Amino acid sequence: MEVLYNSTRSKGNPVKASEAILKGLSEDGGLFVPDHIPMLDKSLRELAGMTYQQVAYEVMKLYLTDFTEDELKNCIDRAYDAKFDTDEIAPLREASGAYYLELFHGSTIAFKDMALSILPHLMITSARKNQIKNEIVILTATSGDTGKAALAGFAGVEGTRIIVFYPKNGVSPIQEKQMVTQKGDNTLVVGIHGNFDDAQTGVKKIFSDKELAAEMDAKGFQFSSANSINIGRLVPQVCYYVYAYTRLLAERKIADGELINVVVPTGNFGNILAAFYAKNMGLPIGKLLCASNDNKVLYDFFRTGTYDRNREFMLTSSPSMDILISSNLERLIYRIAGEDADKNRELMSLLNGRGVYEISPKMREGLKDFYGNYADEAETAAEIRRMYETCGYVLDTHTAVASAVYQKYLAETGDTAKAVIASTASPFKFTRSVMNAIDKKYDSMGDFELVDELSKLAKVKVPNAIEEIRTAPVVHDKQCEVDEMKDTVREFLGI
């Protein structure tokens, strides 16, 4: 059955998957959502006998229904190849009573690789399918990981350019070094003087600037997005939750149909929304645990039904979660509002204006699958230390937030269902925070000294993504104010 995509902010005019991927964001500022969530058409037992690539095809074919089998399999095979350092692509690691789904074995050692390895191929295929002649300009805001993963995916891809905005003082030193050393004539990396929400809001404003869009079209350009607002990012993320369940089934860790819980460290809400979609496709998931850091706007939302971004923006050791406007939550709001675009638009208008909205009691009933909690900086560090001391497994700061929230959930509920925790980044990406959590004595070491020390402690080889940037020269040193973002784009494109 064909799946079409609607905007969360207006009725009518559904588009095909390839069109939604190309546009990134609807013209009305809404996000594209499938007109229905398809059910898995292979049994869990059948899927348990498949490779990651095969599972990805079985999931993605249900959403990207205007792609041919050859087109989709070609995109998958080109994405999930030797750039991942494990054959499993997303291996499960059992540690301290939970299963950590390691999503950081791609070329930039963060979970964003799982979707951003395939997005360029989906986008180029979509452009061909829709006879697009314009050069596609990928415009992205990043809180740390999306930027490098998108740059790695699109660098050198013919017919595309990519511009990444990141908060100048809001990412880890390793994250920044990964981005500013990126090669490729079609790439631009810009540090803004502001936080991630400023960068994300600025990008959305540029997307909705009709005058700029017309000017770009006249010069042979059109925008698209690599952020998780692009449905081409969200669909590939659904795959690894299906894969994780079928691995547990294949290894006889669970029975067919047994419910598991999924724990996700959450910032922009895309990763946990993908798990929600997987659950609604028929995957036996019980609770979806939404883990926040000190920027606990989502925890407060699940607890009270009120979303309020009017609070201090906290810089933490888990910077990819330092977000107060969780863009992908809009897709869930649209769904629990009964797919009422008018109601959703009203709430998003309140968020944009007053910075706060409240959902109805009936809408709150639609959140029953979710459990929200948070871990502060001390709790995050303590969880890194606990995991290292008890089982020798080293977590990054984001995964540690999820792991700490899972411990709170266990204490609160006594729920003994097996849990899959999304491990979203390699600890090598946040070495200083990780090593300081294990022992303060490491604080006097340099960044790359810490990398080598972490390798010894964790008994894990230093990833290529880190080795490559030890001596790599800085290619991008541009900075700008938030209100200069549009001019920066124009300058790069020569318009």
Secondary structure in 3-state letters for 437-477: HHCHHHHHCCHHHHHHHHHHHHCCCCCHHHHCCCCCCCCCC
pLDDT confidence bin for 426, thresholds 50/70/90: very high
pLDDT in tens, 319-352: 999 999 999 999 999 999 999 999 999 999 999 9
**pLDDT of amino acid 411:** 98
Q: Average of pLDDT values for 465-474?
A: 93
* Model confidence at 30: pLDDT above 90: yes
Can you give the pLDDT at residue 228?
84
Which pLDDT score is estimated for 246?
Answer: 98
- According to the model, what pLDDT value does residue 35 have? 97
Mean pLDDT (whole number) for 130-154: 92
pLDDT of amino acid 12: 83
pTM score, whole prediction: 0.93
| Residue 342 burial (CB count, 10 A) | 11
Nearest to 222, CA basis, from 138, 147, 157: 138
Is the pLDDT confidence value at 145 over 90? Answer: no
Average pLDDT over residues 411-429: 97
Instruction: Give yes or no: 112 in active site.
Output: yes
Confidence bin at 367 (pLDDT 50/70/90): very high
Confidence (pLDDT) at 344: 98
Q: What pLDDT is attached to residue 227?
A: 80
Average pLDDT over residues 472-494: 96
Of 16, 23, 112, 287, the catalytic one is: 112
Question: For residue 458, what pLDDT is reported?
Answer: 95
Residue 225 is predicted with a pLDDT of 86
Instruction: Dump pLDDT digits (tens) for 78-100.
Output: 999 999 999 999 999 999 999 99
What percent of the chain stands above pLDDT 90?
93
